[in-house]
Structure 1
Amino acid sequence: MTSLGTAAAAPGETDTGRLVVGETRDGGEFGLPVAVVNGADDGDTLYMQAASDGDELNGIGVIQRVIPRIDPEELSGTVLAVGIVNYHGFQVAKHRNPIDDTKTNRTYPGDADGTSSERISHATFEAAKRADRILDLHQGSTSRMLNEVRVRCGTRHRLHEQCLELAKVFGCGYVLDQKGPNGQLARVGPDEGIPTIDPELGGSVGWDDRSIKYGVRGSFNVLRYYGYLDGEVEPETQTRASGFDQYGSPSGGFVRFEKALGDRLSRGETVFTVRDTFGRVKSEVTADGDGIFWRSRRLPQVATGEYVCSVATGIDTY
């Protein structure tokens, strides 16, 4: 029998339940939705989680589609899944946990006696540490962004190559290979000896079916490549970036982009213009160097200095 919270599954079974991590303001318990898929045959454990940022729903869409499609009778090993990590942020469609005004994916490995976010991180990390691989499903919040996978352990980490392989197997086509901030699951997982990646499945308001399909395909790529399920997977060449140039607006007005997501940019090329209400150009912003148009704000109106877009730099393939 394998359990996670109240979910308990014998070999060849699937079960769902709740992982209790605290109480709400009325004193009632709350728990995160969890699933256990216990394979009929022995094997490795894969841990998946979604929505550690409460407004990032594409990962939930992936788990909704992946878990029902895994036949435990055909599975070797175990899949553990937490469908919604940032319970409080999800309830109010906010990025941060409103109980402590904290970004949950900056609080790993967590603290059993800490803040709301730290307690959630502690409970989910205890589950993740049981795994041989970790998929922490994200998206670029509500902005517009390429479907990508992030490797956050840093190029000098002892597990870097294993994390990079996992990213390639997941196979969104684009990889950001850049050490992440402290407190990210994709940082602390490798420190525990567990290859971990952070798929960033586009960016949307609500969820986006196209990005969810990338996540479903990537999850099954991982399940097949690493022997949880039968099937052949040949990892495809990925475009890798090592950093970003971020651009703010030099003036207020309305942004008009000259490039689409995924387009290449050369130094000096126009990235966007800012125009007044009547369409007259107020300012033009050009690329500081060569790169790929990776991410942009969704709304066209901007104030002076407001974030507009990101261009990925340090591009290669592997």
Structure 2
Amino acid sequence: MTTLGTASAPPGEVDTGRLAVGETRDGTAVGLPCAVINGASDGRTLYLQAASDGDELNGVGVINRVVPRLDPAALSGTILVVGIVNYHAFQTAEHRNPIDDTKMNRAYPGDDNGTSSERIAAATFDAATRADLALDLHQGSTSRMIDEVRVRCGRRHRLHDECLALAKAFGCGYVLDQKGPGGQLARAAPDEGVPTIDPELGGCVGWDQESIDLGVEGVFNVLREYGFLADDATVSRQTRAKGFDQFGSPAGGLVRFRAALGDRVSAGDLLFEVTSVFGETKARVTANNDGVFWRTRRLPQVATGEYVCSVGTNIDTY
């Protein structure tokens, strides 16, 4: 019998339930939606979670489509799922937990007796560190971004190669291999011996079906590669960036992009222009280094110094 919160399933069965993480302001219990898919045969354990940022919904879309397709009779091992991590932010469609104004993916490993976010982080970290592998499904917030996977433990970490292999198995096509900020699950869980990655499934408002489809495919790629499913795995070469160049606007106005997401750019290539309301050119910004046009703001209007776009740099394939 495998249990996560109130979900409990013997081998060959599935159950859903709630993972308790505290109470709301009126004393109502808060439970994160969770599931246990317990395979009929022994094997590894995979932990899967989504929406640690409350407005990043593509991961929820992936779980919504993956779980109904999982047949425990054909599964070796166990899958533990938390479908919505940042409960309070999800309810209000906000990025940060509005109870304590915290970005959830900066709160790991959490604290059972801490703030709202720390308690949620502690409960989900406990679930993640019961697993052999972990996927923390994200997206580029509401900006525009290519589909990619982030390896956040740092290239000197003892589990770096395992995390990089997991990112390759997921197979988005692009990998950012750069040590992340403290408090991220994908940094904290490898310290406990669990290879963990952040699939960043595009960026949108609401759901983007293409990114969700790619995420569903990525989860099944991992299930095949790590022996949860008997199907043969196909692992393809990935384009890896080891760094980012980020660009702000040198002037206020309206942005016109001259590169498209995923384009290879060379140092000196024009990335974007800033114009006045009347179309007069106010500034032109070029790439500092060779790389991949990775991410952009969604809205065209910018103030001086405001974020505009990012280029993935130090590119190779593996």
**What range describes the TM-score normalised by the shorter chain of this pair?**
over 0.9
Is 1:86 the counterpart of 2:78 in the alignment?
Answer: no
Q: Which runs of 5+ in 1 are unaligned?
A: none
In 2, Cα distance between equivalents of 1:27 and 1:197: 35
In 1, Cα distance between equivalents of 2:204 and 2:194: 29
Structure 1 residues 210-229: aligned runs within 5 Å: 210-229=210-229
Is 1:234 the counterpart of 2:230 in the alignment?
Answer: no
In 2, Cα distance between equivalents of 1:223 and 1:234: 11
Query: What is the one-letter code of the residue matched to 1:80?
Result: L
In 2, Cα distance between equivalents of 1:220 and 1:230: 11
Q: In the alignment, what sits opposite 1:64?
A: 64
Q: In the alignment, what sits opposite 1:132?
A: 132
In 1, Cα distance between equivalents of 2:265 and 2:234: 30
1:212: how far off? 0.4
1:310: how far off? 0.4
1:200: how far off? 0.2
Q: In the alignment, what sits opposite 2:246?
A: 246
Size of the aligned set, in residue pairs, is: 318
Q: Percent identity?
A: 73
1:279: how far off? 1.1
1:156: how far off? 0.6
Query: What is the one-letter code of the residue matched to 1:188?
Result: A
Q: In the alignment, what sits opposite 2:201?
A: 201
In 2, Cα distance between equivalents of 1:193 and 1:10: 26
Q: In the alignment, what sits opposite 1:184?
A: 184
In 1, Cα distance between equivalents of 2:90 and 2:73: 33
**CA deviation profile, 1:65-89 (whole Å, cap 9, x unmatched):** 1111010001111000000000001
Q: In the alignment, what sits opposite 1:22?
A: 22
1:234: how far off? 2.1
Q: Which runs of 5+ in 2 are unaligned?
A: none
Query: What is the one-letter code of the residue matched to 2:118?
Result: E
In 2, Cα distance between equivalents of 1:225 and 1:232: 7
**CA deviation profile, 1:90-140 (whole Å, cap 9, x unmatched):** 010010001000000001000000010000000001111110000000000
In 2, Cα distance between equivalents of 1:160 and 1:128: 17
In 2, Cα distance between equivalents of 1:220 and 1:265: 32
SS at match of 1:315: strand
Q: In the alignment, what sits opposite 2:166?
A: 166
In 1, Cα distance between equivalents of 2:72 and 2:267: 52
In 2, Cα distance between equivalents of 1:292 and 1:39: 40
Structure 1 residues 86-165: aligned runs within 5 Å: 86-165=86-165
Please, what TM-score do these two structures have when normalized by structure 2? 0.99
**CA deviation profile, 1:162-184 (whole Å, cap 9, x unmatched):** 10000000000000000011100
Q: In the alignment, what sits opposite 2:286?
A: 286
After the TM superposition, which parts of structure 1 deviate over 2 Å for at least 4 consecutive aligned residues? Answer: none
**CA deviation profile, 1:211-253 (whole Å, cap 9, x unmatched):** 0011100000000111001111121010000110100001111
In 1, Cα distance between equivalents of 2:122 and 2:194: 16
